[in-house]
Structure 1
């Protein structure tokens, strides 16, 4: 029984293995790692370097980082350390390194996400573009054949219609950049019919119409869809839903952050899923890891960011 369970676990996470293998074949890009001042974040950055996923530039209090490396047995002797006094300064300097052309990725260390994203989204001196900043979880669910993208479950609390337009476009662009093809995008709600008393169903219908009119491109959209008939062909059949998306969605667009966060964590803790995280819409990909992430998830987050950055360089999808 033990052997069988182990084989199943490894097979279930082969989606991440493909991403990591694809990124490790490319030239590793420089990544400004903001405030890697606990063992988890420092080790994660250095393990990503060992896998040739990135070249870390450690940004934070030098003495603290060096002392932590020595105490934890982590070799940073060949790694650049940029000395700044605290976490806020680390976030600001990491952004500056991108603006100076010295880094092509940003990676979160042990600082709060708000500190890092505050520096990224600053109007003066940040990394803003014309696109709304948003987050995507790339979920490797062992019991589900497809990689699931869930957005936005970490940045935009209650996005309006135009914010959701950018959230969807960011996720589609990522999916395409990874060489995964044309994504099927399900705009989730509690029900699959347009219901005036549930505003997210009205927004879902509007977003689908926006896609028809070319305001969202690169994917096939449908909504509103409930979670079951978005990912289960049988559930869609029972409900009588005929759609190219229903039952086989690859991108799940949630109504708000609370719904997305609960969905992602349910998949993680009840289905054994891994949830790699990346922030999109900035000038460079931002690797947003969690203290609860395992090594495979951290490596997958770095791999996705690297593949996206390389795709932007070449203006071509990078086959994962």
Structure 2
């Protein structure tokens, strides 16, 4: 930042001098204050699911603390140190309120002592807080660049909470769980059952499944068990049950994805739809104010243009099912311009034009876009990209599996995002969890299956007020 902050020394300070700053109370302010102070009183700390809860008020000491921003930055400015502060609070401050903080010099003592009247008022001019501050004013002139503090990304943005709440409103979904014969696979299925999301049917080696249950101290009473000879047989039985309508979803357990999907895509299995299967990650990223959909990072290794059409449409459908009314789809490449030497940019441009012509429905598609200008408005503006998608993408379509896998894992392990995922394009949703997934990811993936199933069956998102046109499978 180029602006300079200058102070007023004790010698130059005059009684009657005043300064003011305004400040809006945000959920982030209160969460950071809770971290610093250790005050976890629920009346002053926004909850994970409702960061703008109107019943939450700012801690009075947070209101008092913002007075120091005027004393330290403006008057007297850099070099000022507190001696004492009195505070009297007249009313509470709600999240979103704009406050004006004013300080007025009312007395000077022996150098460097100075006394300031302090006042915080709301947008209507009503007093929120008032008092007196006694400080040591600076004695040496200072002119310094305004400092830009490091950015904080708080983990409270739980984009899965809304999805889970909607999914739990539906009856539990009968779900074939294939080879849940280790602690993680079985634990995820049972947790989703306890959350009311699925009604599991456990298929596989029954002795191994019971052994995994014993390790967890879990009782399998009341849960249907189906014996299978091996992984392939378990996958085949799950697919047959789904084709017969006995279950509405399939959940991967302790087997390789290709073992399960090989049975799903068999022509005689009855689960193939009119599109290619693709995988969609749904990421809850702390730095974003909406869930981020990424496809395909797990299934199609090097998709051609025809496959990418299905990948885009599948991702749009899932985003709509999750309450995104008209998903903005950014088709990623290394650059945001078409380059004949980079096939991914040609595919991206073709997908964008196909969406304009109605060959891809339900979303806004634009590409090629680089990662920065797909998700960051300032980056898009800097590069002069005029687009309804650039900087606002809900869905990111990657050029190949390697790029998608790296992107999803970077967001998970570097940006501390939570990830859920679903395979779509078949006649039932397929919950394709990873051994590295935690319990929350497994439960959120089951919620995605519920939401997609509801949309596919009715053509209506559980979040929508009016029916949405569902693409025929």
TM superposition score normalised by structure 2: 0.66
SS of the aligned residue for 2:352 comes to helix
Note the alpha carbon deviations across 1:240-266, whole angstroms, 9 max, x for none: 111000000000000000000010011
Partner of 1:165: 309
TM-fit CA distance, 1:295: 1.2
2:281 to 115, 137, 161: 137
When the two chains are superposed, the root-mean-square deviation of aligned CA atoms in Å is: 1.6
Structure with the higher fraction of residues in strand conformation = 2
Partner of 1:80: 224
User: How many Å separate the matches in 1 of 2:323 and 2:207?
Assistant: 42
Q: Tell me, which stretches of 5 or more residues in structure 2 are unaligned?
A: 1-31, 41-47, 49-152, 465-473
TM-fit CA distance, 1:71: 2.5
TM-fit CA distance, 1:296: 1.1
Q: How does 1:240-319 map to 2 (within 5 A)?
A: 240-319=384-463
1:210 to 354, 358, 364: 354
Structure with the higher fraction of residues in helix conformation = 1
Partner of 1:191: 335
1:232 counterpart = 2:366 = no
Contact 1:136/1:278 (CA < 8 Å) preserved in 2? Answer: yes
User: How many Å separate the matches in 1 of 2:223 and 2:443?
Assistant: 18
1:55 counterpart = 2:228 = no
Partner of 1:11: 156
User: How many Å separate the matches in 2 of 1:75 and 1:135?
Assistant: 33
TM superposition score normalised by structure 1: 0.96
User: How many Å separate the matches in 1 of 2:166 and 2:388?
Assistant: 29
2:165 to 21, 31, 34: 21
Q: Tell me, which stretches of 5 or more residues in structure 1 are unaligned?
A: none
| Greater radius of gyration (CA) | 2
How many residues align? The count is 319
Contact 1:119/1:126 (CA < 8 Å) preserved in 2? Answer: no
Q: Which has the higher contact order (CA 8 A, sep 6+)?
A: 1
Q: Which runs of structure 1 show a deviation greater than 3 angstroms over 4 or more consecutive aligned residues?
A: 5-10
User: How many Å separate the matches in 2 of 1:301 and 1:9?
Assistant: 23
User: How many Å separate the matches in 2 of 1:252 and 1:62?
Assistant: 40
Q: Which moved more, 1:138-147 or 1:66-75?
A: 66-75
TM-fit CA distance, 1:314: 2.2
